[in-house]
Amino acid sequence: MGRSHAGRNRGDYGEVMGMENPSEPQGTALTPDEWRGKEIFFRNFHTKFTYSWDTGVAIGHFLEALKAGKIVGRSCSGCNRVLVPPRMFCELCFRPTDDWIDVLDTGVVNTFSISYVNNDASRREQPLFVAVINIDGASPGMGFLHLLGEVDAEQIHVGMKVRAKWKPAHERTGAITDISYFKPSEEL
């Protein structure tokens, strides 16, 4: 944006900018009249950004398994753990993981939150129940963040046994949302 400084002397320029040394200008402040008078023009344009994201070997296989209705992890013989979500390298012993392991679609609530706020910070009428689920068959503390459903707020507690509620097979896309939510499962 170019503009003339005609009609302004150095004293005015320094005062407008709030600079102590007006001999080193860093820009020109706009006055309210200049904004309202449309001396300044704006150009609006919309940009479309497209991108691809490579899930990698571990998460790619994990997502394909979800599409098939199962949860998988990776075993590490170095520290005898089963990692869920899977990783190709163990973050504890710094070695490649060994094999794919099928784990159960059940687990235990590790921690939870009852949210009355949407992603856009707007208020919710009905609460959203979010929990970290430790997956059965994985090592302690291994699991992921997901939603709880078919439950009342008063029923939710740390240690609550849950089971995945899967979307119908024809609706699955290979995403974490192929599990609609986890629901209480007291028969476990």
In the chain the first and final C-alpha atoms are separated, in Å, by 67
Domain boundaries, the chain: 56-184
Per the model's pLDDT, the better-predicted residue between 86 and 34 turns out to be 86
pLDDT tens digit string along 18-57? 555 556 666 777 777 777 776 666 677 788 888 777 889 9
What average pLDDT score do residues 94-103 get?
96
- pTM score, whole prediction: 0.70
